[in-house]
Amino acid sequence: MRIPKHVAIIPDGNRRWANESGLEKHQGYEHGLNPGVEALRLAKTYGIEELTYYGFTTDNCKRPPVQVKAFVDACIDAINLIKNEDVRLLVVGNTQSPMFPSELLPYTKERVAFGTGTTKVNFLVNYGWEWDLGHMHTDTTNRHTIMDCLCSKDISRIDLIIRWGGRNRLSGLLPVQSVYADFYTLDEMWPEFSKDQFSRAIEWYNKQDVTLGG
């Protein structure tokens, strides 16, 4: 079976799920914590080397304050859970903005090893594509040199993007690392995560042919 080296997860649908479940919208995010841990454990069993979570974006911060607080808190909680899982963690996002939670600053400079695991985990926090591309100085068409100019340069090319919540769009996720990614969208909301959904995505990826645009 052809396993993607690097999988990105867009955990969408928390607010819609909360609405449908009789909760307030902002209450949906905390129900996305366990799915995140489950996805990581599954990724390890498949031998996936790198996993990126789309935490929250600069765009998301335009939402009502009660929601912003809820998803920022959920990201901090998620990262605390992930730290128990034998990973090499990197948090990537705009740390210069007041929206960036100071609790997460220690994981933004370089990858931090927890336990003995080798799985790389990237967690995007206060990420924006315009922040990512905002300090580029290139005069080359060399792909590696271009990728080295990104603020997200420590995140590698993505093979498979799995999005929950039914929308077939990137919503600004790592535009350069995503250029050749296969994109799998699930109709289920992120808090409805099940192992079977993740496996469906991996099995679907196995049937795609990888051409890198060639």
What residues line the site for a copy of itself (CB under 8 A)? 57, 59-60, 62-63, 94, 128-131, 133-143, 146, 149, 167-172, 175-176, 178-185, 208, 211-214
Least separation in angstroms between CB 209 and a copy of itself: 8
Rg (CA), the chain: 17
Q: Which is nearer to a copy of itself, 83 or 153 (CB)?
A: 153
Q: Which is nearer to a copy of itself, 41 or 143 (CB)?
A: 143
Contacts of 70 (CB under 8 A, 6+ apart): 26, 27, 29, 30
What SS3 class is residue 160? Answer: strand
Quick check: 104 and 91 in contact, CB under 8 A? yes
Least separation in angstroms between CB 53 and a copy of itself: 16
Least separation in angstroms between CB 3 and a copy of itself: 17
Q: Which is nearer to a copy of itself, 97 or 199 (CB)?
A: 97
What SS3 class is residue 99? Answer: coil
What SS3 class is residue 110? Answer: coil
C-alpha to C-alpha distances, 7 to 52, 56, 88, nearest whole angstrom: 6, 17, 15
Q: Which is nearer to a copy of itself, 118 or 138 (CB)?
A: 138
